[in-house]
């Protein structure tokens, strides 16, 4: 039988052994980590003699080290504790929640000019000179890359992209808090920018004619409306322009034709045929004119596209099938004749 006094002396030791109160309390760092998608983190406690890690109250087999690696995919939303042993006394830490960031999918916001129509494949149809803007929505503001037709656009790293050319556009980006979590938009925006149809003004004898013709025509002389037929007679010096309605969304007024100066002509001095030309063009001067010297064929930017020498006759034939469609000026180098306008079409 144990003496009453001896039992009283042992009671504090027995209580300490049963309750397990230790002179230390382990803690886990980092405190309440929030993981990015596919990210890992390392949970660590202080140095003790032994360890056992728990997930949601269940012991993790083999998790007996000072640290534990957790993964967003497997461990986010779970609580972790560690039981640490020092000098044969074991104490558990407070529970720590491993959380994770959750993001909506990235998306794009359309802006800029309204498209004229939607094409057969869902593409948005604009005119050249219009602008479409694409803006990344949500929190995707890091590591931005915009793509056109599958290739990265150099320097396009801002949340907004200005689009002015035909192509297929998409982007990839990451949230600012998780810059390594790069996600693609998953869709492509198709845009078509159509060149506007612009009529040419073609001299034809004493007349100016719009080419090609359309549904309706409106001529202007010095900016003032005049005739609305396909061809008009010139009514004095100054710039002539014409607007032709082709029934499309993309159409603009012609470049000006000046009745004097560069591109001017006295109709009785020459004839040009055919107008427009596709393969060959024949220029015939009046009988009293016999051009001499060199000539150059210039586009309307002044760039030389062809050159040659007059043979002293009253005519010259040019092969123009290799030239781009548009207006050209046949200019004698000696400038004794006014330039002759040549129109090339396909």
Specify the pLDDT at position 165.
94
pLDDT at 10 over 70: no
- Please say which residue of 82, 100, 118 terminates a domain: 100
pTM above 0.85, yes or no: no
Tell me the residue range of the domain where 333 lies.
Answer: 261-346
DSSP conformation letters of 272-302: EESSSBSSEEEEEE-TT----SEEEEEETTS
Q: Are residues 256 and 267 in the same domain?
A: no
Please, what's the b/e burial string for 182-212 (b: 16 or more CB within 10 A of its CB; e: otherwise)? bbebeebbbbbbbeebbbbbbbeeeebbbbe
User: How far is 264 from 234, CA to CA, in rounded Å?
Assistant: 11
pLDDT tens-digit readout, 169-186: 999 999 999 999 999 998
Q: Are residues 21 and 47 in the same domain?
A: yes
User: How far is 184 from 310, CA to CA, in rounded Å?
Assistant: 63
Task: Pull the structure tokens for residue 296.
Answer: 């150059």
* Residue 174 counted as domain residue: yes
CATH number of the CATH domain containing 255: 2.60.40.10
- Please say which residue of 139, 162, 194 terminates a domain: 194
* Residue 11 counted as domain residue: no
| Number of domains observed in the structure of the chain | 4
Q: Are residues 78 and 123 in the same domain?
A: no
* Residue 84 counted as domain residue: yes
* Residue 290 counted as domain residue: yes
Specify the pLDDT at position 2.
37
| Percent of all residues in the chain with a pLDDT value above 70, rounded to a whole number | 87
- Please say which residue of 145, 162, 194 terminates a domain: 194
- Structure confidence at residue 260 as a pLDDT band (50, 70, 90): low
* Residue 25 counted as domain residue: yes
Specify the pLDDT at position 338.
64
pLDDT at 1 over 50: no
* Residue 58 counted as domain residue: yes
DSSP conformation letters of 3-51: -HHHHHHHHHHHHHHHH---S-----BSSS-EEPTT-EEEEE----SEE
Q: Are residues 211 and 276 in the same domain?
A: no
User: How far is 140 from 259, CA to CA, in rounded Å?
Assistant: 58
Give the contacts of 11 (CB within 8 A, at least 6 positions apart): none
């Amino acid at each position: 039988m144990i003496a009453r006094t001896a039992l009283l002396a042992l009671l504090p030791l027995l209580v300490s052994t049963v309750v397990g109160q230790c002179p230390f309390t382990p803690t886990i760092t980092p405190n309440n980590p929030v993981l990015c998608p596919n990210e890992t983190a390392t949970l660590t406690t202080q140095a003790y003699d032994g360890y056992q890690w728990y997930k949601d109250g269940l012991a993790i087999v083999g998790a007996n080290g000072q640290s534990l690696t957790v993964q967003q995919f497997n461990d986010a939303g779970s609580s972790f504790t560690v039981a640490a042993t020092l000098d044969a006394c074991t104490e558990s830490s407070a529970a720590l929640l491993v959380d994770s960031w959750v993001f909506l999918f990235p998306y794009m916001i359309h802006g800029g000019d309204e498209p004229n129509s939607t094409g057969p494949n869902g593409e948005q149809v604009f005119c050249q000179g219009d602008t479409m803007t694409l803006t990344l929505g949500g929190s995707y503001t890091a590591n931005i890359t915009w793509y056109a037709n599958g290739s990265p656009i150099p320097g396009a790293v801002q949340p907004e992209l200005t689009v002015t050319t035909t192509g297929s556009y998409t982007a990839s980006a990451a949230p600012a808090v998780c810059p390594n979590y790069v996600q693609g938009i998953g869709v492509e925006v198709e845009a078509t920018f159509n060149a506007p149809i612009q009529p040419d003004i073609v001299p034809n004898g004493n007349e100016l004619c719009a080419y090609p013709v359309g549904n309706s025509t409106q001529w202007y002389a010095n900016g003032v409306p005049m005739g609305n037929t396909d061809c008009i007679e010139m009514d004095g010096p100054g710039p002539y322009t014409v607007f032709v309605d082709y029934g499309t969304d993309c159409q603009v007024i012609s470049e000006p034709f000046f009745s004097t100066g560069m591109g001017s002509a006295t109709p009785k001095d020459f004839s040009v045929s055919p107008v427009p030309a596709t393969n060959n063009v024949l220029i015939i001067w009046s009988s009293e004119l016999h051009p001499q010297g060199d000539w150059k064929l210039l586009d309307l930017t002044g760039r030389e596209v062809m050159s040659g020498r007059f043979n002293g006759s009253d005519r010259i034939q040019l092969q123009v099938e290799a030239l781009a469609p548009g207006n050209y000026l046949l200019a004698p180098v000696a400038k004794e004749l006014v330039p002759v306008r040549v129109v090339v079409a396909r």
